[in-house]
Amino acid sequence: MRLAFVDLEFSWPPPGGAQIHLLHDMTELRRLGHEVRLIAPLAEGSWRFGRIEEEALPVPVTPILLASRPFPRDELVRKVRAAVDAFAPDVVMLAFGFYLKAHLAAALSDYPLISRYYTYEMICVRDFLLYRDEHACPNSFLDTPNRCRRCFVRFWGPGFPQEGTSGFADEFLANGGLHPAFHRLWVEHLRNLDALVVTNEMTRQRLEKYNDNIHVVPGGVSIERFPYRPPPEREPGDKKIIFMSGRADDQMKGFHTLRRAGEVLSEKRDDFEIWVTLAKPPNARPFIRYLGWREQDELRRLYGEADICVVPSVWEEPFGLVAVEAMASGRPVCASRVGGLQSIVVDGETGFLFTGDNRFELAHCLGLMLDHAALRRDMGMAGRRRAETVYDWPRVVERHYPALLESVLP
Amino acid sequence: MSEREHIGFYCGLCPDFMPALREARRRWPDARLTAIVPPSYAPDEAIYAVVDDLMVTGRDAYSPLHPLAVRQLAADLRARGFSHFITLFRTTQQRILALVSGASRAELWDMDSRIRPMEVTWSGLIRGAMRRSVGGRLRYLGLFLYACIIRVPRSR
């Protein structure tokens, strides 16, 4: 089968996880015998997105040359359409495209069309995060467009005097995102897609009234890059290490919950230390070691030194890659019961799930793990098995894509 | 032949600044590239594969509440003799920093991949600030009124 992937954010080397995700999908589909081509814009004057070192990619690329963001809509759509026609695919997959996706979908509607959503861009036009006032936002641009339009303006407006909008917010405005016609186009494009791919069940439920062919396809991990590491051997009196990796400086990642859980624990015990990839703040706690930002290679080593990994996110994590990386490394994971995390961690088997923002519940889970080395070891091994059988990239693609592709063919 | 360009790259409180530095090195392979990073994000020796010099600032963050620290930073930047100054965030403080660095050219590389020139004269800085201040507020008001008055009809 000939598969065209269209991605407006693709860059290589990758600026984020979504590009790695897409590359794994394409590579594995190619391994399964499909002919795969990536169609992506190369943006002049950009430094982070829109640059591709083709020789480093295992799939052929059709570059679309464009000026910098916001992309000129009509030119982009015309050029993508021409590139897709030249490849003549059996199926077109739209990856990142944000507000231009609806226009691309309309232009490519005579092809079997699948659209993949990595985050909540189809629901939350403000910043795709679906997170407001420290909680998951119950609104949706599809259902409550007027509320979401006002939210967008109130959020970005105060930054206008500083040019403080994001490129995506500018693109939303440049594409008439506040105009009622945009909402109509947005809803129609979801209805007209042959299939949607989302990363968690919550997103599927919120979209199912707009399309009845929605597939939940999780992300994955390269289990060779995150090999199993036996638990560290501790002498009596050694401190056990509770590790939180990722962008801990982002409030949505919930480090404050872990810090408070650490305070609860420190009232009763001192046999632990929390390691976090965060710069040391002025009010540093004695039981926390602040590691600062760490590169991916060093993170792998840190997973090996940790006894327990914690993912305390307070927003609806679309997937939760750090939890899978920790599990692949053989570490038990304490994760909040949100978004994709609640499907990754099997409660009581590969770790514990706790209510996001609940420090007492997290402290209780950590206390159990700190007390029982055998529990940590067994959960770590179960996590590794789960990473191998469910989240290894080849298995993710083999399990989900055949049914997905079959569902859109005439 | 012109003197070798000296680029000061002010990373600010961006935890993952290496992609930006790599891109700067790719664009200006022959320039002298100095990464300016806060102490909490000070990298290890590996950074020298990408940059020529590393300048670790005295504090993580600067504000008008610490005028002496700001003055010291400005003096340190000037002493480096940058010809080109790049920042990663579009705040007034970083615009001022670009100005006081003494560089003849300054750019903003925002996290959405856009590159924009920045003012390197006081008059340009003030004009730009006023333009953004007035224009930005009017734009905010206009869009807010639009979003309130022109409503999306209830879908069927």
| pLDDT of A69 | 66
CA distance A73 to A394: 35
Cβ-nearest to A145 among B22, B137, B152: B152
Tell me, yes or no, whether A235 lies in a domain.
Answer: no
Name residue, tokens 């799930």. Answer: A353
Is A166 in CB contact (< 8 Å) with chain B?
yes
What is the pLDDT, as a whole number, of residue A164?
A: 64
Q: Could you tell me if A49 and A190 lie in one domain?
A: yes
**Alpha-carbon distance values, A279 to A232, A233, B61, B80 (Å):** 25, 28, 12, 26
* A293 touches B: beta carbon within 8 Å: yes
- What is the model's pLDDT at position A124? 94
- For chain B, say whether A139 makes contact (Cβ under 8 Å): no
B152 closest CB neighbour out of A46, A69, A183: A183
| ipTM entry | 0.79
Does A364 map to a domain?
yes
d(CA A90, CA A37): 12
Interface A-B: count of C-beta contacts within 8 A: 114
Q: Is residue A182 part of a domain?
A: yes
Domain assignment of residue A21, given as a range: 2-220+393-408
CATH number at residue A192: 3.40.50.2000
Contact A271, A369 (CB under 8 A): no
Average pLDDT, chain A: 91
Residues A251 and A109 in one domain: no
CB contacts of B135 in chain A (<8 Å) are 160-161
Residue A18 falls within a domain, yes or no?
yes
Q: Does residue A47 sit in the same domain as residue A176?
A: yes
CA dihedral A279, A283, A285, A286 (to 10 degrees): 90
Nearest to A275 by CA among A238, A245, A320, A254: A245
Q: Given this model, what pLDDT does residue A118 score?
A: 86
Counting Cα atoms < 13 Å in the Cβ hemisphere of A176 gives 14
Cis status of the peptide bond prior to A70, with omega within 30 of 0: yes
Q: Give the HSE-up count for residue A257: Cα atoms under 13 Å, Cβ half-sphere.
A: 29
The total of structural domains in chain A comes to 2
Among the listed residues A68, A57, A64, the one whose alpha carbon sits nearest the alpha carbon of residue A39: A64
Residues A177 and A63 in one domain: yes
Contact call for A48 and B133, based on CB within 8 A? no
A402 and A384: one domain? no
Contact yes or no for B137 and A47 at CB 8 A: no
Q: Which residues of chain B have pLDDT under 50?
A: 1
Looking at the fold, whether A194 and A289 belong to one and the same domain comes out as no
Same domain, A33 and A47: yes
A-chain residues near B111 (CB < 8 A): 48, 166
Contact A279/B60, CB-based, under 8 Å?
yes
Q: Do B147 and A158 touch (CB under 8 A)?
A: no
Task: State residue B1's pLDDT score.
Answer: 41
Residue of A nearest to B149 (CA): A146
Pair (A199, A129) in one structural domain: yes
Residues A370 and A397 placed together within one structural domain of the fold: no
Classify residue A228: in a domain, yes or no.
no
User: Do A386 and A403 belong to one domain?
Assistant: no
Please name the residue that has the structure tokens 């077109």: A92
Q: Is A20 near chain B, with CB under 8 Å?
A: no
Assigned domain for A225 exists: no
Does residue A265 fall inside a structural domain?
A: yes
Looking at residue B20, its pLDDT comes to 86
Positions of chain A with pLDDT under 50:
none
On whether both A69 and A171 belong to a single domain, the answer is yes
Tell me which residue of A308, A334, A286, A295 sits closest to A232, measured CA to CA. A308
* B132/A293 CB distance under 8 A: no
B-interface mutation test, from A44, A46, A47, most B Cβ less than 10 A away = A47
Is the domain of A59 the same as that of A143? yes
Looking at the domain assignment, is residue A233 inside a domain? no
pLDDT at B2: 56
Residues in chain A: 410
Please report the beta strands in A199-287, taking only residues with DSSP state E, as ranges in sequence order: 214-216, 240-244, 272-276
